[in-house]
Amino acid sequence: MNRATTIALVLAVVLAGMLGFETSAHGDPLTLRADALATTQSPAGLVMLETDSKLSSTVSAEAVVWTAASPLPGEHAGDVLVIALRARTADGRASTQLGRFVAILGATRPLQIDGAAGRVQLPHAFYTEAYAGIPVLAGLGTGRAWDWAVGARIARKLGDYGSVGLAMMEQRDDGRLATEEVGADAGVAFGKRDDVAVKLAYDLANPAVADAEVTARHVHDRSLRFDLYAGYRAASHLLPATSLFTVLGDIPAERGGARVTWKAAPRLEISADAGVRYVEDDLAPALSAHARLALDDTSRSALTGEIRRDGASDDAWTGLSGAARIALPYALFVSTELELVIPDSDRTPGGRYRGRAWPWALAALGWDFSAWHAAAALEASSSPESRARIDALLQLGRTWSGP
Amino acid sequence: MRRPLVVAALVALAACAGVLGLRKSGPQPFPHRAHVLANVSCTQCHGQLDHDDGTALHVPEDKSCTTSGCHEKPHDTHACLDCHATPEALAQLAAARDHLAFDHARYLPRTHGDCMRCHNGVAEGDDHMRPAMATCFKCHDHDAQRDARKCDACHKSLEAGTDMPAGHLAHDGDWVHEHGVRAASSADLCQTCHAEKFCASCHGVTVAALPATQHFADPFTPSVHRAGFAARHSLEAKADPGACQQCHQPERCATCHRVKGIAGDGRTSPHPPGWVGITAAESSHGREARRDPAACASCHGGAGEALCVSCHKVGGVGGNPHPPGFSSRVRLTEMPCRMCHK
């Protein structure tokens, strides 16, 4: 067992013990969940431990740690996904978070850090939030000095119908500027039927728009909904500024389209999406139609089907997929997922043969009884890398609650 | 010609009505409306509301139907609610009890036994047993709590994620792709229900297995990596450059490809013919690098960048790699500028 695995397991045990000791009658019960996953694909074995608890009405904590029995070479055998302690004032006007978590501030990019974050309400419907910490390296790595990231956002609520915000973040790798980004975001509802959300991130290190997205929704009635969406992404601005590939300039990826969602019957929902992707000179359609039929009123059993057309230029493809989940007696259920991808060309742009169709199928049997959950599945596929492949997957988990 | 088609469509619809939920089969919703019209008060059947300890469901027992002189001779020996209530309605009651901090006893004196002030949809069927949140807001002013994201006065264990929002904040449509722009202006609202592990399970650096792998037996777990993603991921990455880098480090491509024997020592070059040529017209690598720079960085990042600057340097045969109007705030003495600008 290497250092990372040891530290991960020790942290899990310490946190579980701490939460168990601190949990009081006025907090929610401590929950601890353990999952073991085994597959014939690497990583072959995985154990995950999750725990969370509300220590009081204003303090809560959670942790997720994992260890892999046979990780990919060069990857780590264990790590901490989350270990966070949250606290807030009784009136909810201020809150703070400490530990390892994903820091998200408005339109700036999400960043997993070891550090602290806080949020404070200000007068006149303003509020501000900020974080500071060390960007997480896989494997509990501490090899680099002077890695740090800070970010802050100020926002204002617009009555009951929306909010606008401005954010800024900076990240240093080994003391060198890796990311410097400002972002603007807004979400506004126009009455009960229409709303718009928009975000824009601007790269200050290599000045240019890095990412922009807008989505608008109209709810016609409870059974019919329309969405419009558009996005712009400059891939080189998502890389750290220390990379040579950020100074080449880039060809942005743009997309836009419309989607309609129709609840045709109480248990039947149909959606259709018509969009286009634009990358350099390639204008490619991105089309899909999806249907979901619930087989009972609680959706424990359901069927779905989808047809999709996507990809660009030589790499366009058409896909068909279907899935089913059927509840059985004795807390058992069976599920299956099928997919067939047909690329327009059976050869890569480099001329390598990749097959005419890539079928994929999975059949699973699950059991979800009280605190126990278990599942077994067989997965079969044909892909550009493997003409035929069959894998088995097993999962066993248990949840404890107490006291 | 048209008439048989219409008839066939109607027959098909009628045959599928039960499956589509248009016609109820099995247990029927409890006839609340008939009881109200017969002047049966709510508390006559739903007893013990004044002793609400947060655990009772207040579902009437058979004796409340028979001993009150209403149904002295039941037509069946089964429990009344086996047929005269839908199992889904009873499950909703249990979910509401687990999810909401609500004490009926506090409200009885104020409503004077008029349950319809809140349960105003009960005559329409069992689907409306639980009042909509807007019903609460008719009397209660929760603006301050809403602004402070304090939902726990009424909602218990939101972070457990056992109860999906239905009336407001519904996560329908293509939520997987839409959630980013929605969360940008209201991340704090997301946090009222979602714990850290929910975001980190996709956006974390130290993810052990993605949700699609962890929940392989549930085909309806939302994820961009479902089904045969491994086969089509290269096509998706090319159509949407930069999408992978929103969660993955660029090195991830090379690490995985090396392990699976798709790249690495002993393999032929993954690049197509015409990748590097004498003139720009004969050379496609520059265009491809601008189109998906992260794909190049995956193998040629770090020390591998030396390969690029062996040609693309000041005075080198590769010429100036910068686009027209290029500017940067990175100092020439820092990486990556200093690789060429010595």
Question: How many beta-carbon pairs below 8 A join chains A and B?
Answer: 367
Q: For A84-98, A135-149, A212-226, which range has the lowest pLDDT when averaged over its residues?
A: A135-149
| A183 min Cα distance to partner chain B (Å) | 10
pLDDT at A22 exceeding the cut of 50? no
Cβ distance A362 to B183 less than 8 Å, yes or no, reads no
Q: Which of A102-116, A151-165, A280-294, B87-101 has the lowest mean pLDDT?
A: B87-101
B134 vs chain A: nearest CA distance in angstroms?
12
CB-based contact (8 Å) between A165 and chain B?
A: yes
Residue-level pLDDT at A1: 45
* pLDDT on residue B4: 86
Q: Is the pLDDT of residue A14 over 80?
A: no
The tens digit of pLDDT for each residue in A192-210 reads 889 999 999 999 988 889 9
Asked if B246's CB is within 8 angstroms of A109's CB, the reply is yes
- Judged by CB atoms closer than 8 Å, whether chains meet at A377 and B234 is answered as no
Q: How confident is the model at residue A274 (pLDDT cuts 50, 70, 90)?
A: very high
At residue A25, the pLDDT reads 40
Query: Which residues of chain B have a CB within 8 Å of the CB of A284?
Result: 239
Measured in angstroms, the CA of B70 and the nearest CA of chain A are apart by: 31
**Contact assignment for B174 to A273 by CB distance below 8 Å:** yes
Among A263-277, A298-312, A371-385, B205-219, the minimum mean pLDDT is found in: B205-219
Cis amide prior to A403 (ω within 30 degrees): yes
**Are the Cβ atoms of A160 and B159 closer than 8 angstroms?**
no
Query: Is A247 in contact with B328 (Cβ distance < 8 A)?
Result: yes
- Indicate yes or no: CB of B185 within 8 angstroms of CB of A93: no
Kindly determine whether residue A207 and residue B327, on different chains, have CB atoms separated by under 8 Å: yes
- In angstroms, the CA B180 to CA B194 distance is 14
Q: What is the pLDDT of residue A325?
A: 95
Q: Give the mean model confidence (pLDDT) for residues A62-83.
A: 80
C-alpha to C-alpha distance for B30 and B191, rounded to whole angstroms: 37
Q: Other CB atoms closer than 10 Å to residue B163's CB: what's the count?
A: 17
Residue of A nearest to B172 (CA): A261
- Residues A6-20, mean pLDDT to the nearest whole number: 52
Q: Is A393 on the interface with B (CB under 8 A)?
A: yes
Work out the average pLDDT over B323-342. Answer: 81
pLDDT at A230 over 90: yes
Select from B145, B216, B231 the Cβ nearest to the Cβ of A384.
B231
CA distance A393 to chain B (A): 8
Which pLDDT score is estimated for B243? 83
Q: Which residue has the tokens 């006893």?
A: B105
CB-CB: which of A248, A337, A358 is closest to B231? A358
**Closest A-chain CA to B330:** A205
Taking an 8 Å cut-off on Cβ atoms, the answer to whether A62 and B241 are in contact is: no
The tens digit of pLDDT for each residue in A134-145 reads 998 876 655 566
Residue type, A276: V
Distance from CA of A6 to the nearest CA of B (A): 15
- A335 touches B at CB < 8 Å: yes
Burial A306-334 (b: 16+ CB within 10 A, else e): bebbbbbbebbbbbebbbbbebeeeeebe
Please say if the pLDDT value at position A32 is more than 80.
yes
State the pLDDT at residue A226: 93
Q: Are residues A336 and B219, on separate chains, in Cβ contact within 8 Å?
A: yes
Rounded Cα distance between A339 and A273, Å, is 19
Q: Name every residue whose Cβ is closer than 8 Å to that of residue B34 and which is 6 or more positions away in sequence.
A: none
- Token pair for A223: 């059974």
| Residues of chain A positioned with their CB less than 8 A from the CB of B150 | 91-92
What number is the ipTM of this complex?
Answer: 0.84
CB contact under 8 A, A235 and B209: no
Least confident piece of the model among A119-128, A260-269, B157-166, B276-285 = B157-166
Q: What is the pLDDT of residues B201-251, one digit of tens each?
A: 888 888 878 888 888 999 988 888 888 888 888 888 888 888 888 788 777
Minimal Cβ distance to B197: which of A64, A79, A136: A64
Torsion of CA B163, B168, B174, B178, to 10 degrees: -110
- Could you tell me the pLDDT band of residue A24, with boundaries at 50, 70 and 90? very low
When pLDDT is averaged across residues B83-89 and rounded to a whole number, the result is: 77
Q: How high is the pLDDT of residue B135?
A: 80
Higher pLDDT, A80 or B88: A80
- Nearest residue to B150 via CA among A256, A58, A4, A335: A58
So what's the pLDDT on residue A199?
95
Q: What is the DSSP code (8-state) at residue B29?
A: P
**B168 contact residues in A (CB cutoff 8 A):** none
Residue A238 Cα, gap to closest chain B Cα (Å): 7
Residues B178 and A215: beta-carbon distance below 8 Å: yes
B162 touches B98 (CB < 8 A): yes
Q: Spell out the residues 6+ positions from residue A14 whose beta carbon is closer than 8 angstroms to its own.
A: none
| H or E segment to which residue B212 belongs | helix B211-214
